[in-house]
Amino acid sequence: MTSAARLRVAVLISGSGTNLQAIIDANANGELGIEIVGVISDRPAARGLQRAAAAGIPALPIDFKACTDRTDYDEQLEQTLDRLAPDLIVLAGYMRILRTSTVNRYRGRMLNIHPSLLPAYPGLNTYARALEADEDWHGTTVHFVTPELDAGPAILQYRVRIGTEETEAELRARVQQGEYLIYPEAIKWFAADRVEMRADTVILDGKPLAGPVVIDEQR
């Protein structure tokens, strides 16, 4: 990006949009230097769409249940993204798997945040699974999106030590606080041309990362 350009960012959500709000707030505070050109949700009632509208950002529902089939939905999504012409797509609690053609079209320009220390616990119910396995650590990961579920190269992780007899709700709350820190940070790095994906490797400040940057919770 040139110094005069503002990175055009589209955000995809399915729910309450707390990560979206963290990104909106960081940008409003001058930390990111991006333009959020639209927020898309597969659920018209998603609270995140209200957050977008309140911030003056186009809120764009594509009702999955109203589509004739999955192909219809995917085509509407791609058409909406085409109109927005984003430089970066941010998945922030988006609960549908994107089709491979969409992911490949934006390869290296699509980020996701997943509530585990990937590659551990891809998929759903990560907090319960970590607790059931008696893990010492849990956390969240910002990664580039590839067609394989939650398998793209990781950029940043926030790590918390699991407490004795900690509940799933308590662990989730701690990890989510970390999400609100590291997702805006990763977007800031991308907007400043500090981070990119080359051949499934994360390049940070011109050097390949052997693993994600890890930030531990400070308590």
Q: Tell me, rounded to whole angstroms, the distance of Cα 64 from its chain centroid.
A: 20
Residue 87 to residue 178: CA distance in whole angstroms: 25
Structure-token match 């955000």, residue found: 11
> Which residue type does 166 have?
E
Q: Is 207 exposed, middle or buried (0-12, 13-18, 19+ CB in 10 A)?
A: exposed
Residue 1 to residue 43: CA distance in whole angstroms: 32
Q: How many C-beta atoms lie closer than 10 Å to residue 108's C-beta?
A: 16
Handedness of CA 206, 209, 210, 215 (dihedral sign): positive
**Residue 12 bridge partners (DSSP):** 40, 91
**Residue 157 bridge partners (DSSP):** 141, 214
Of these residues, 43, 51, 114, 174, which one is catalytic?
114
Identify whether 143 is a catalytic site residue. no
Q: Are 160 and 138 in contact (CB under 8 A)?
A: yes
Tokens at 127, concatenated: 């907090």
Tokens at 68, concatenated: 């004739």
Tokens at 112, concatenated: 């996701």
Residues with active-site annotation: 114
